[in-house]
Structure 1
Amino acid sequence: MPNLRLPGPTPVPPEVYQAMSKQMIDHRGVEFSELIERLTSNLQRSFQTANDLYVLSSSGTGAMEAAVVNTLSVGERVLGVTIGNFGDRFLKIASTYGASVNQLKFDEGEVADPEQIRQALKDDPQITAVLVTHNETSTGITNDLETIASIVKDEFDKLLLVDAISSLGSIKLPVDEWGLDVVVAGSQKGWMCPPGLSMISFSDRAWRAAEKSTMPKFYFSMAEAKKSLSNGQTPWTPALSIMFGLDYAVQQMLSQGDMQAVYDFHQDMAEYTRAGLKSMGIGLVAKDEKFASNTVTAAWVPEGITDEALLSSLRDNYDIIAAEGRGLLAGKVFRIGHMGYVTKEDIDDVFQALKDALPKLGFTPSEVS
């Protein structure tokens, strides 16, 4: 079986596949009502929120779209903070639906500067909402969301929409403590499930914004989701098999009482991965390692070789599937995912493959030079 070292989809444990193998049930019946109510409650514990939470049958991008179209209006002024490819996507969704987006973009490898966010909000009082990515997988950077949220919420009282697709379930993100209005996640990341489900939490402030929102919505209507969940249902046919798997996975993640053990595990895996790459003379994209992601490490392709040569060698000769660069970093970086169902032995296999492959491609890692 290939060693899948992507930032998503991530490997799925056999036990989750077993849970997914159950026969279909009536998605308008009592058994499903018990499932969705249990899953929603456990996800609220994982999100650390008392806010409303909904499970959508969509990719994470679908939940990003839901966040935008349910809270914003055409022509509404918003601040879009981006540190990479997926931050750009969030802003593109907002502008596509007619929001007036003030983009605050940071260079690849940099974390969003809270002071620049504060200044942008001072300079443009018409801004009503802020869009930000918590963990940017294209660069391997985690924003200081706690500080950003304190500025956006406490100092300026703006609506805050957060893409936490690659962080929630792996990196600490206490939704209520930080005052986050809308937060989205995806099943194929640290939740150890196949793609196909997304999750979205909605604060009271978000619901007040939803009452005024004029953007078109149908499949992603949170009003429909709320009405259906009150009856133990979803508005549309749900991805049942993935729900079975997510229900099992979340229960296992919460089995120790809270999520701290999960966060500690991911921090340990990330530090182990970064240390191993640096020991070989491979540079990290993160300019300040304090903000390096605990779910994916982005590293520079060594000088003199191409990303295609490196990635194809890892795939064809060592059965390791790493990720290419995205956006402006395409062709310049490779990325190693270390979230969810992963062990240090999986990462050791990557290290050994790099030590063997890189000299053949023209770069001698430090440890074997």
Structure 2
Amino acid sequence: MSYAPIPMVPGPVALHEDVIAVLGRDYGSGQVESDFMCLYDATSRSLARLMGTTNDVVLMTGEGMLALWGALKSCLKPGDPVVTVGTGVFGDGVADMAASFGCVVEKVSLPYDSTIDDLSIIEDAIRRVKPVMLTAVHCETPSGTLNPLASLGKLKKDLGVPLFYVDAVASLGGAPVHMDEWNVDLLLGGSQKCLSCPPSMSMVGVSDAAWARMEEVQYQGYDSILPFRTVRTDGRCPYTPNWHGVAALHAGAQAIFKEGTQAAFARHEAVAARCREGLAELGVKLWTAPDAVNAPTVTAAMIPDGYTWPEWKEALRRHGLICTGSFGPMAGKVFRLGHMGTQAQPYLMEQALDAIAVTLGK
């Protein structure tokens, strides 16, 4: 088995050494161990700190999509009106998810190379539809963008939208997130991106309004969030606890705190800036529009002329660089460099740019 010498995929990322250390330990059963509940509580509070919230944060066993589906199904019923804001595949994908179980969805789909700016079309949709839920994606990884959400959160509050659902899977831990300040009710995260853990855990910040809605909906299923409301009080999880997964999340969060959250964010920003600067020097164009906000965790660039995506991918691999393509209208046109978590390192970015330069004969 070979390992990528220059890992630059936008998740799952290389594991942090502190995460690897805790994964090698032997733990008790969890379900009957008070130590597990202490670990669960400490991890939940650490993630709440990263989310910028005083709300509850629940920890669920399953990759990040578990949180995305679970938050929708726990809070929505067939026929509920929903407004989704999309600047990419995942933002518009939330609309399709909600529609799949009977919600009436108004999809505000913006150009996939842009970020949220003019709120007028969103405000119009909210006033017309009067949604139960407004949704948005913070970091749209297929597009390499980071959506500013403060103004959207204010609009949600001003217009009285009951719930604001935000996918922060690819930004949590790598960029500032302010759940409470942005009036977010469901803040969704995953373990395999900036936290540098295996793709085994999801986390959801839950506001009081979201808990109340879940009590009303009473959704039952593996991805139901409501049963986690009493984990801290009754000491039992709704299914077999993932002690290793929670321990990994705790280690990943503590590694960020040890570095300093602001220092970690600055590191991501600096590596992202060097990525964009280096690509420009090599004549590789970005996918994003000039006025879009580029993500600090992933960069989306145009595949150079003369290459198909499979050809470009294999050419880079021959020089040790492992990256990914994109989805939807970007498929076959865009390649992505993931500089998040353990991969947001200056030396790795220089190696990646060198590999691209050699591949292009520069």
Is TM > 0.5 for Structure 1 vs Structure 2? yes
Determine the structure 2 residue equivalent to 1:280.
Answer: 282
Determine the structure 1 residue equivalent to 2:337.
Answer: 336
Q: Does 1:117 align with 2:112?
A: no
Report the 3-state secondary structure (helix = DSSP H, G, I; strand = E; otherwise coil) of the residue aligned with 1:255: helix
Q: Does 1:183 align with 2:184?
A: no
Determine the structure 2 residue equivalent to 1:4.
Answer: 7
Report the 3-state secondary structure (helix = DSSP H, G, I; strand = E; otherwise coil) of the residue aligned with 1:79: strand
Q: Indicate if the aligned counterparts of 1:77 and 1:99 stay in contact, CA closer than 8 A.
A: yes
Structure 1 stretches of at least 4 aligned residues deviating more than 6 Å after TM superposition: none
Distance in 1 between residues matched to 2:113 and 2:327, nearest whole Å: 13
Report the 3-state secondary structure (helix = DSSP H, G, I; strand = E; otherwise coil) of the residue aligned with 2:194: coil
- The 5 Å alignment of 1:1-369 reads 1-2=3-4, 3-28=6-31, 29-112=33-116, 113-124=118-129, 126-213=130-217, 216-255=219-258, 259-288=261-290, 291-315=293-317, 317-342=318-343, 343-359=345-361, 368=362
Q: Indicate if the aligned counterparts of 1:7 and 1:336 stay in contact, CA closer than 8 A.
A: yes
Q: Indicate if the aligned counterparts of 2:140 and 2:146 stay in contact, CA closer than 8 A.
A: yes
Q: Indicate if the aligned counterparts of 2:131 and 2:161 stay in contact, CA closer than 8 A.
A: no
Distance in 2 between residues matched to 1:217 and 1:79, nearest whole Å: 24
Report the 3-state secondary structure (helix = DSSP H, G, I; strand = E; otherwise coil) of the residue aligned with 2:106: strand
Distance in 2 between residues matched to 1:302 and 1:119, nearest whole Å: 40
**Counterpart AA for 2:338:** G
Any unmatched runs of 5+ in structure 1? Answer: 360-367
Distance in 1 between residues matched to 2:38 and 2:147, nearest whole Å: 36
Q: Indicate if the aligned counterparts of 2:145 and 2:292 stay in contact, CA closer than 8 A.
A: no
- Report the count of equivalent residues: 356
My pick for the range that moved more, 280-289 or 33-42, is 280-289
Alignment deviations for residues 50-70 of structure 1 (CA, whole Å, 9 cap, x no partner): 111100001111100111011
Distance in 1 between residues matched to 2:54 and 2:226, nearest whole Å: 18
Distance in 2 between residues matched to 1:223 and 1:107, nearest whole Å: 35
Q: Following TM superposition, by how much is the alpha carbon of 1:131 offset from its aligned partner in structure 2, in angstroms?
A: 1.1
**Counterpart AA for 2:125:** A
Report the 3-state secondary structure (helix = DSSP H, G, I; strand = E; otherwise coil) of the residue aligned with 1:73: coil
Distance in 2 between residues matched to 1:261 and 1:228, nearest whole Å: 33
Distance in 2 between residues matched to 1:233 and 1:295, nearest whole Å: 35
Alignment deviations for residues 27-61 of structure 1 (CA, whole Å, 9 cap, x no partner): 12112111111111111111111111100001111
Identity %: 29
Q: Indicate if the aligned counterparts of 1:73 and 1:212 stay in contact, CA closer than 8 A.
A: no
**Counterpart AA for 1:318:** H
TM-score (norm 1): 0.92
Q: Following TM superposition, by how much is the alpha carbon of 1:289 offset from its aligned partner in structure 2, in angstroms?
A: 5.3
Q: Following TM superposition, by how much is the alpha carbon of 1:15 offset from its aligned partner in structure 2, in angstroms?
A: 2.6
Distance in 2 between residues matched to 1:213 and 1:62, nearest whole Å: 18
Determine the structure 2 residue equivalent to 1:363.
Answer: none
